[in-house]
C-alpha cells in the first residue's frame, strides 16, 4: 500500500478499539511471560503448536490407532476391551486370493471386486475429469460472452451435496425418468441404465465428473490466468498455429497445476462412496461396488457387524491414500522448489 | 406487599413450577413407520402421559434402515433409547431388558405373547419378557385385479402353484405392457416366503444354520430362471448390490406389477395410497412341492437393557400391551394381531375398505397355514445372517455375475464366517 503513495492508516492510539485490543493482549502478557520463563524460548514453539497437535491427536491419530487395534481383534462387540485379539487374521482373510486379478478366486471376493471397480472408476474418472476440466477452463479463459455466467454455472454443482446430486441423476436415469422420456419421445426404446453393468459404471463416472468438474476447472483457470499474456502475443506475431500454442505454451506452463489436479482427482476417486452408493447401490450385481461401500457394509449393514474386518480393509485403503498423499506432497514441494 | 410476601410468593411459584418437572421422567422410543402406526402410537402415548404425568415418552421416528443398521451400533455402545420398535429380535436379544420383575402381571404377557417371546429371548433363556408384538406379519402375494381383468386372464385359485402364478402374471404383463410381471421385495425374508414352500429348512437341530438344502436351491433356481425368462425384472434384485433392501411397493402402487410378493404390512399403505385407482386383492401363498406356507415375521417393541428407568419403561409397556390399547392399535393400523387373545377374538378394523378387510382375512388365514419350519427360521437368532447372505449372492446370480452353484457355495461360506465371527469371545 505504501508503494502506491498513500500512507498506511494507523489505528489512533486512543481509539476504543485499540485500547480494547491492547487490553485483551495485555491480559496474556503475564501468563505468556510465566510460560516462557518455565519452558524457555525454544519450548514456546511447542506451546503454540500444542492445541493443534492435541486436536489432531484426538480426532485423527487416535481414531487411526483405534482402527488399527480394531483390525487386530475379532467378534462383534464394539469396545476394544471386550474384543478378543486375533492378530492379523482379518488381513490374511482379505489377502487370501487364488489370483488378485480374479476377485472370484478370493476369500473376500467383494473386497477385491470393490478394489477392481475402484481402480476402473478411478482410471475412467481421472481421464474424463481432467480432460473436461481442461477443455472447460480453456474455453472459459477466452473472452466469450457471458463468461462470468458460465463460470458460475460450471461451479454450481460443486456446491450441491453428493446425495442430492445422485438423487437428481437417479430420477433422470430411472426407467420412467427424464432421459428415458426423451428417448421414448424420439421413438427409441427405454434403456435400463442401472441394469446394464457398462451403463451403470458410465453414469457413475459421468455424474461424478458433472458434480466435481467445476472445482478442478477453477484450479486450471487460475493456472491459465497466471501464464503471461506476452507469450501469446509473441506467438500471435510469429503466426503460430493455435494447436502449437496449446502444446508448446499453454500445456507446459499449466503442467504444475495439471499435476496437482491429477493427484487430487486420484485421491478423491479412490475415496468415492456416497454418490455412487446412492446412484447405483453398487449394482447391478457388484458392478459398481466400491471399496468404501464394502467397508461400510461389512461394518454396519450386515447383521453380524464385522468391525474388525472392515477396520482391516480401511487400513489397507488408508495406506493407499497415504501413498497418494505423499505423492501429492512430493509434487507440491518440487513445484515450489 | 412487603419483602417477606414477595419471598413467600416466589418460593410457592418456584415449588409449583419445579416440582412436576423435577419428578418427570423422559423416556425415548425409537420407532419406524410403514403406514399410519406412528400417528396411532403417538396418540396412545398422549393418553398414557395424561394418566401418568410423571412419565413423558418421546417418539423418535427414524427410517427402517436405521433400525437395522444404526440402532445396533448405538446399543452396542451402551447408548440408545429406552424402548425401540425392532424386527431383528434374535440379533438384538442381548440388548433387551427383561421386563418381568417390573410388570404388573407377567402371566398376561406369557399367555398372550408366549410364542413370540421366544423370538425375542437370547438362546438358552426361557423366562425373559423383553417386549410385545406391534404386529404379526406374514408374507404373501398382492395381486392387481384390474390388470388381470384388462388382460382377460383368470386369477388362479387357492391351491395354485408358483409356476401357475408365474405363467399367468407373465401373460397379463405381456398383454397390458406391465414392466414387472412378478415382483418380490429384494429381501431375504421374502425369498424365504418362496423357499419354505420349496422345502427349505436351513436351521439344524443344534439351532445353527445348515448348508443350503435342496429346498433353498430350488427357490434360488426359480428366482434366477424367472429373471432369465422375463418373469421378474432385474431392476429389483439385480440392480443393487450386497444386502440392500429394495421394495416393489412403489411399482405396485403405480399399477406396473400384476403379482407382488410382499406381505400383510402393506395393506394399510395400499388401502390409503391406491384408493380407487385400481382393484387389488391378497391371494393365498402359492404352493411349492413341500407346502403352501409363507414366512411369518413381525415387529415388536422391546425395552432396552441400558435404560436408567426400567420400572417406568415397564409401566409404559404394560399400558401399550394391555388388551384394550393393543386392540385399538391393531384396529387403527390394520395390522394382523401379534396378541393371542386379541387374535382369537378378532379385530374390528377401523376405516378399512372392503378390499383391505378382505386382504386382512386372507393374511389371517395364511397364518394358520404357516409351516413349522417357517417359524423356526424366523425365530432363529441367526436368521438375518442367512437372509442377508441369500439376497447378496442370489442378487449376483440374477445379475449374471456368478452361477447358482457358486452363489450357493458363497452363501454357505458367508453364513459360516459370520456365525463364527459372532461367536468369537
> Could A283 and B424 be called an inter-chain contact, meaning their C-beta atoms sit closer than 8 Å?
no
Split at pLDDT 50, 70, 90, the class of A6 is low
Split at pLDDT 50, 70, 90, the class of B264 is very high
Higher pLDDT, A305 or B248: B248
Higher pLDDT, A331 or B180: B180
Question: Chain B closest CA to A108's CA: distance in Å?
Answer: 9
Considering only alpha carbons, which residue of chain B is nearest residue A90? B421
Mean pLDDT value of segment B371-383: 89
Split at pLDDT 50, 70, 90, the class of B62 is very high
A287 touches chain B (CB under 8 A): yes
Higher pLDDT, A146 or A72: A72
Residue B20 has pLDDT above 50, yes or no: no
- Best residue of A166, A283, A308 to probe chain B, by most B CBs closer than 10 Å: A283
B244 touches chain A (CB under 8 A): yes
In B205-345, DSSP assigns E strands to 259-263, 280-282, 296-303
> Could B235 and A300 be called an inter-chain contact, meaning their C-beta atoms sit closer than 8 Å?
no
Mean pLDDT value of segment B66-92: 91
- Residue A160's φ and ψ, nearest 5 degrees, are -85, 150
**Facing residue for B239 by CB, picked from A194, A306, A308:** A194
Complex ipTM, two decimals?
A: 0.82
**Facing residue for B242 by CB, picked from A76, A301, A308:** A301
B378 touches chain A (CB under 8 A): no
**Facing residue for A284 by CB, picked from B68, B239, B385:** B239
> Could B241 and A282 be called an inter-chain contact, meaning their C-beta atoms sit closer than 8 Å?
yes
A90 touches chain B (CB under 8 A): no
Grid coordinates given for B276: 380407487
| pLDDT at position B13 | 57
**Facing residue for B422 by CB, picked from A86, A281, A304:** A304
Adjacent-strand bridge partners of B85: B301
> Could A283 and B385 be called an inter-chain contact, meaning their C-beta atoms sit closer than 8 Å?
no
Residue B1 has pLDDT above 80, yes or no: no
In B141-180, the residues whose Cβ lies within 8 Å of chain A are 179
- B27-31, B130-134, B254-258, B375-379: range with lowest mean pLDDT: B375-379
Q: Model confidence over A265-277: pLDDT tens digits? A: 999 999 999 999 9
Residue A13 has pLDDT above 60, yes or no: no
Split at pLDDT 50, 70, 90, the class of B315 is very high
CATH number of B23-136+297-345: 3.40.190.10
Considering only alpha carbons, which residue of chain A is nearest residue B235? A195
- DSSP character string of B110-179: HHHHHHHHHHHSPTT--S---EEEEEEEEEEEEEEHHHHHHHT-PPP-TT-BHHHHHHHHHHHHHHHT-S
**Facing residue for A302 by CB, picked from B179, B388, B399:** B388
Q: Model confidence over A44-60: pLDDT tens digits? A: 888 889 999 999 999 99
Residue A16 has pLDDT above 70, yes or no: yes
**Residue B401 contacts by C-beta under 8 Å, 6 or more apart in sequence?**
A285, A286, A287
Mean per-residue pLDDT over chain B, rounded: 91
**Facing residue for B418 by CB, picked from A78, A109, A304:** A304
Q: Give yes or no on whether B23-136+297-345 and B137-296+356-422 have one common fold.
A: yes
Residue B52 has pLDDT above 90, yes or no: yes
| pLDDT at position B351 | 83
Considering only alpha carbons, which residue of chain A is nearest residue B179? A175
Residue B6 has pLDDT above 70, yes or no: no
**Domain architecture of chain A: domains with CATH:** 120-336 (1.10.3720.10)
A84 touches chain B (CB under 8 A): yes
Q: Which residue matches cell numbers 385407482?
A: B277
CB < 8 Å to A285, chain B:
238, 241, 395-396, 398-401
CB A126 within 8 A of CB A262: yes
| pLDDT at position A5 | 46
> Could A280 and B240 be called an inter-chain contact, meaning their C-beta atoms sit closer than 8 Å?
yes
> Could A282 and B425 be called an inter-chain contact, meaning their C-beta atoms sit closer than 8 Å?
no
Residue A4 has pLDDT above 50, yes or no: no
Q: Model confidence over A150-192: pLDDT tens digits? A: 888 889 999 999 999 999 999 999 999 999 999 999 999 999 9
Question: Chain A closest CA to B349's CA: distance in Å?
Answer: 35
| pLDDT at position A2 | 39
User: What does the domain layout of chain B look like in residue ranges?
Assistant: 23-136+297-345, 137-296+356-422
- In chain B, what percentage of residues exceed pLDDT 90? 70
Adjacent-strand bridge partners of A73: A85
> Could B239 and A280 be called an inter-chain contact, meaning their C-beta atoms sit closer than 8 Å?
yes
CB B307 within 8 A of CB B78: no
Question: Chain B closest CA to A219's CA: distance in Å?
Answer: 35
How far is Cα A279 from Cα A285, in angstroms, rounded to an integer?
A: 14
> Could A175 and B235 be called an inter-chain contact, meaning their C-beta atoms sit closer than 8 Å?
yes
| pLDDT at position B65 | 86
- Best residue of B79, B241, B251, B383 to probe chain A, by most A CBs closer than 10 Å: B241
Mean pLDDT value of segment B22-50: 92
Residue A222 has pLDDT above 90, yes or no: yes
| pLDDT at position B419 | 92
| pLDDT at position A23 | 82
**Of A196, A195, A203, A199, which is closest to residue A279 (Cα–Cα)?**
A203
CB atoms within 10 A of CB A227: 15
In B25-145, DSSP assigns E strands to 25-31, 55-61, 83-86, 131-144
B409 touches chain A (CB under 8 A): no
A77 touches chain B (CB under 8 A): yes
| pLDDT at position A26 | 82
> Could A283 and B239 be called an inter-chain contact, meaning their C-beta atoms sit closer than 8 Å?
yes
CATH number of B137-296+356-422: 3.40.190.10
| pLDDT at position B156 | 96
Residue B380 has pLDDT above 90, yes or no: no
A278 touches chain B (CB under 8 A): no
Split at pLDDT 50, 70, 90, the class of A305 is confident
How far is Cα B275 from Cα B273, in angstroms, rounded to an integer?
A: 5
**Of B108, B128, B112, which is closest to residue B120 (Cα–Cα)?**
B128
Split at pLDDT 50, 70, 90, the class of B245 is confident
| pLDDT at position B343 | 85
Considering only alpha carbons, which residue of chain A is nearest residue B424? A75
| pLDDT at position B9 | 60
| pLDDT at position A8 | 53
| pLDDT at position A1 | 37
Q: What angle do CA A16, A18, A24 make, to 5 degrees?
A: 100
Mean pLDDT value of segment A107-135: 96
Amino acid at each position: 500500500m505504501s508503494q502506491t503513495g498513500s500512507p498506511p492508516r494507523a489505528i489512533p492510539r486512543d481509539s476504543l478499539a485499540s485500547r480494547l485490543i491492547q487490553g485483551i493482549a495485555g491480559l496474556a502478557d503475564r501468563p505468556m511471560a510465566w510460560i516462557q520463563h518455565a519452558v524457555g524460548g525454544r519450548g514456546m514453539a511447542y506451546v503454540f503448536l500444542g492445541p493443534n497437535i492435541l486436536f489432531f491427536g484426538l480426532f485423527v491419530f487416535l481414531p487411526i490407532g483405534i482402527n488399527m487395534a480394531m483390525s487386530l481383534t475379532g467378534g462383534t462387540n464394539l469396545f476394544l476391551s471386550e474384543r478378543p485379539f486375533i492378530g492379523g487374521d482379518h488381513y490374511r482373510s482379505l489377502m487370501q486370493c487364488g489370483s488378485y486379478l480374479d476377485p472370484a478366486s478370493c476369500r473376500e471376493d467383494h473386497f477385491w471386486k470393490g478394489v477392481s471397480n475402484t481402480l476402473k472408476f478411478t482410471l475412467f474418472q481421472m481421464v474424463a475429469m481432467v480432460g473436461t476440466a481442461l477443455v472447460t477452463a480453456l474455453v472459459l479463459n477466452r473472452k466469450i460472452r457471458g463468461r462470468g455466467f458460465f463460470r458460475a454455472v460450471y461451479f454450481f454443482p460443486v456446491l450441491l451435496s453428493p446425495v442430492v446430486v445422485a438423487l437428481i441423476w437417479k430420477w433422470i436415469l430411472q426407467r420412467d425418468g427424464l432421459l428415458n422420456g426423451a428417448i421414448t419421445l424420439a421413438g427409441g426404446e427405454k434403456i435400463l441404465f442401472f441394469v446394464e453393468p457398462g451403463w451403470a459404471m458410465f453414469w457413475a463416472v459421468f455424474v461424478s465428473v458433472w458434480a466435481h468438474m467445476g472445482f478442478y476447472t477453477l484450479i486450471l483457470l487460475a493456472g491459465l490466468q497466471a501464464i503471461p499474456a506476452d507469450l501469446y502475443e509473441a506467438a500471435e506475431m510469429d503466426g503460430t498455429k493455435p494447436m502449437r500454442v496449446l502444446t508448446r505454451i499453454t500445456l507446459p506452463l499449466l503442467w504444475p497445476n495439471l499435476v496437482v489436479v491429477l493427484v487430487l482427482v486420484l485421491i478423491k476417486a479412490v475415496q468415492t462412496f456416497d454418490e455412487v452408493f446412492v446412484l447405483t447401490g453398487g449394482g447391478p450385481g457388484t458392478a459398481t461396488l466400491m471399496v468404501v461401500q464394502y467397508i461400510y457394509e461389512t461394518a454396519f449393514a450386515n447383521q453380524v457387524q464385522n468391525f474388525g474386518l472392515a477396520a482391516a480393509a480401511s487400513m489397507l485403503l488408508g495406506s493407499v491414500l497415504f501413498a497418494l498423499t505423499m505423492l501429492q506432497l512430493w509434487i507440491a514441494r518440487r513445484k515450489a522448489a | 406487599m412487603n419483602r417477606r410476601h414477595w419471598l413467600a410468593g416466589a418460593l410457592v411459584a418456584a415449588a409449583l413450577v419445579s416440582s412436576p418437572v423435577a419428578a418427570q421422567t423422559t423416556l425415548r422410543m425409537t420407532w419406524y413407520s410403514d403406514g399410519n402406526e406412528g400417528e396411532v402410537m403417538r396418540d396412545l402415548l398422549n393418553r398414557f402421559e395424561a394418566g401418568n404425568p410423571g412419565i413423558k415418552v418421546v417418539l423418535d421416528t427414524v427410517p427402517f434402515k436405521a433400525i437395522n443398521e444404526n440402532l445396533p451400533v448405538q446399543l452396542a455402545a451402551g447408548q440408545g433409547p429406552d424402548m425401540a420398535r425392532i424386527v431383528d429380535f434374535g440379533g438384538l436379544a442381548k440388548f433387551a431388558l427383561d421386563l418381568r420383575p417390573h410388570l404388573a402381571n407377567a402371566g398376561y404377557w406369557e399367555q398372550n405373547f408366549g410364542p413370540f417371546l421366544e423370538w425375542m429371548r437370547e438362546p438358552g433363556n426361557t423366562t425373559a419378557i423383553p417386549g410385545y408384538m406391534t404386529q404379526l406379519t406374514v408374507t404373501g402375494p398382492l395381486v392387481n385385479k384390474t390388470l388381470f381383468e384388462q388382460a382377460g386372464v383368470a386369477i388362479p385359485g387357492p391351491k395354485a402353484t408358483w409356476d401357475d402364478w408365474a405363467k399367468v402374471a407373465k401373460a397379463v404383463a405381456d398383454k397390458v405392457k406391465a414392466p414387472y410381471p412378478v415382483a418380490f421385495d429384494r429381501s431375504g425374508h421374502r425369498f424365504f416366503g418362496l423357499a419354505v414352500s420349496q422345502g427349505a429348512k436351513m436351521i439344524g437341530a443344534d439351532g445353527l444354520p445348515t448348508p443350503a438344502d435342496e429346498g433353498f436351491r430350488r427357490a434360488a433356481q426359480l428366482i434366477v430362471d424367472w429373471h432369465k425368462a422375463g418373469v421378474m425384472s432385474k431392476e429389483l434384485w439385480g440392480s443393487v448390490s450386497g444386502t440392500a433392501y429394495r421394495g416393489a411397493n412403489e411399482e405396485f402402487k403405480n399399477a406396473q406389477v400384476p403379482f407382488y410378493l410382499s406381505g400383510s404390512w402393506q395393506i394399510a399403505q395400499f388401502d390409503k395410497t391406491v384408493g380407487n385407482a385400481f382393484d387389488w386383492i391378497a391371494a393365498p401363498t402359492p404352493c411349492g412341492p413341500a407346502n403352501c406356507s409363507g414366512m411369518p415375521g413381525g415387529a415388536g417393541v422391546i425395552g432396552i437393557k441400558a435404560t436408567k428407568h426400567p420400572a417406568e419403561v415397564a409401566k409404559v409397556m404394560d399400558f401399550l400391551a394391555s388388551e384394550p390399547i393393543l386392540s385399538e392399535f391393531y384396529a387403527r393400523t390394520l395390522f394382523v394381531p401379534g396378541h393371542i387373545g386379541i387374535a382369537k377374538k378378532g379385530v374390528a378394523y377401523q376405516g378399512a375398505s372392503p378390499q383391505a378387510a378382505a386382504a386382512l382375512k386372507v393374511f389371517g388365514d395364511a397364518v394358520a397355514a404357516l409351516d413349522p419350519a417357517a417359524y423356526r427360521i424366523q425365530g432363529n437368532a441367526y436368521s438375518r445372517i442367512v437372509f442377508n447372505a441369500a439376497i447378496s449372492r442370489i442378487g449376483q446370480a440374477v445379475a449374471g455375475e456368478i452361477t447358482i452353484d457358486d452363489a450357493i457355495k458363497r452363501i454357505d461360506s458367508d453364513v459360516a464366517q459370520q456365525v463364527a465371527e459372532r461367536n468369537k469371545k
